[in-house]
Amino acid sequence: MKYPVIVLNFKCYLEALGENALRLSQMAERVAGETGVEIVVCPSTLDLEMVASKVRVPVFAQHVDPAPPGPYTGSIPAESLKLKGLAGSLLNHSEKRLLLQDISAAVARLRDNSLLSILCTGDQITSMAGAALQPDMIAVEPPELIGTGIAVSKAKPEIVKEAVEKVKKVNDKVHVLCGAGISGPEDVAAALRLGAEGVLLSSAYVKSKNPEKLLRDMAEAV
């Protein structure tokens, strides 16, 4: 993984399922190729294999279970991600919260399979706790930027800056991404200027009228 990184979470938006997942991933591949910026795509679970087999940007799952291979019906073990050629997984997204111990186990199991982890956290305190769990990246979603529609470039600078500093203080090997408030190139620039080593975004890309242009503008703002 090369930093700064732009991580695209497709969630389960209809605009990003099936063939759409492939199309949105190929756009990412083109922009990454043209600009040299690292771009990660996170398609929905059933699209992972198809996307990983057809595009050459790192593909992450949106979730992985802490259980190993074995008698666990409906589970998604890290080994499955490895077998399909993925590069890692998001963990503990605000739409898929996990038990403290399961986060710890999942991070360890990803690492044991040479896969990367992006741990999503909320406020400064949970972000610091998250850093202690030794994921590769932490995507901080400051409550001040979620649901309020406030963009990073318009928010008080200390919100992102402090979050980065607090996480680094607990574990300076963790790469901190800004996981909320990213709608345009100016937000990417602001996040990096404030110390983040990347951004995590979703609907702004998936639901854009021209996702490829938006992504190119963002990559150029890096």
Active-site residue set: 93, 141
From the list 181, 186, 174, the residue with the least C-alpha distance to 222 is: 186
The DSSP secondary structure of 197-217, one letter per residue, reads: SEEEE-HHHHT-SSHHHHHHH
| Rounded-to-integer distance, Cα 143 and Cα 162, Å | 13
Query: Helix (H, G, I), strand (E, B), or coil: what is residue 90?
Result: strand
Q: How far is the CB of 36 from its own copies (least distance, A)?
A: 28
Q: How far is the CB of 52 from its own copies (least distance, A)?
A: 10
Given candidates 3, 29, 35, 75, which one binds its own copies under the rule CB under 8 A? 75
Given candidates 11, 30, 111, 161, which one binds its own copies under the rule CB under 8 A? 11
Is 122 an interacting residue with respect to its own copies (CB under 8 A)?
Answer: yes
Is 3 an interacting residue with respect to its own copies (CB under 8 A)?
Answer: no
Contact (CB, 8 A) for 144 and 124? no
Is 149 an interacting residue with respect to its own copies (CB under 8 A)?
Answer: no
| Rounded-to-integer distance, Cα 47 and Cα 49, Å | 6
Given candidates 24, 57, 81, 118, which one binds its own copies under the rule CB under 8 A? 81
Nearest residue (CB) to its own copies, 192 versus 200: 200
Using CA atoms, how far residue 34 sits from 40, 55, 131, 220, 221, in Å, is: 15, 15, 33, 10, 14
| Residue numbers at the binding site for its own copies (CB under 8 A) | 9, 11-14, 17-18, 44-50, 61-63, 67, 69-77, 79-81, 83-84, 90, 92-101, 103-104, 108, 121-123, 125-126, 128-134, 170, 202-203
